[in-house]
Amino acid sequence: MLKARIAVLVSGGGTNLQALLNARNTVLQSGDIVLVVSNNPDAYALQRAAAAGVKSAVVRKKDGNFEERLAAVLEENKIDLIILAGFMTILSAGFTARFRDRIINVHPSLIPSFCGQGYYGLKVHEEALAYGVKVTGATVHLVNEIPDGGRILLQKAVDVLDGDTPEILQKRVMEQAEWILLPRAAEMMSREIIGKENL
């Protein structure tokens, strides 16, 4: 069966990458994770990739021509779909245009709340708690030139509970939303890509 070739871009621990790896051949059937790329050579996510038998590459910003080298690695590996899973780098308009409608990201809030430039990691959950919202969640969206501004693919709500800290809320959003939505969105996009390529 023809499958979309997926690259997962990571910067840290790789919990969302693990959710994708765990979903192979269950939720994720139309796509194959063939490459993990990190901008951080010490990312634990690279060990997760190795344990799963997935090829990995490191492309560091400080080595210059970052996006050109990243694009070259993706194109060499004939990547159809790029998934940003805790990738702590904003990609330029030129890069996102080059892979238009082929890059997805998971964001730990219900966009348009608590999103955009500067909203990532614990900061999102700190802001949600400071604002006093009773419901938060996660969003998977297409990536374009506007941070968190691409078309929404999937969203899932998660309750905010009394006594939540940013860390507790972050964990709940990951477990109840991010790890569920990301494999679903990967399957949805992979199916769409395969369908287009079979026309």
Which residues, in sequence order, are CB contacts of 148 under 8 Å at separation 6+?
105, 107, 111, 115, 116, 119, 139, 141
Res 5: pLDDT: 98
Res 128: pLDDT: 97
Contact 160, 172 (CB under 8 A): no
> Does the reported pTM lie above 0.75?
yes
Which residues, in sequence order, are CB contacts of 140 under 8 Å at separation 6+?
104, 105, 106, 107, 152, 153, 154, 155, 181, 182, 184, 185
The residues annotated as belonging to the active site are 107
Range of the domain at 98: 4-197
Domain count along the chain: 1
Output DSSP code: residue 2: -
User: pLDDT digit string (tens) for 107-156?
Assistant: 999 999 999 888 888 999 999 999 999 999 999 999 999 989 999 999 99
CATH number of the structural domain spanning residue 71? 3.40.50.170
User: pLDDT digit string (tens) for 150-181?
Assistant: 999 999 999 999 999 999 999 999 999 999 99
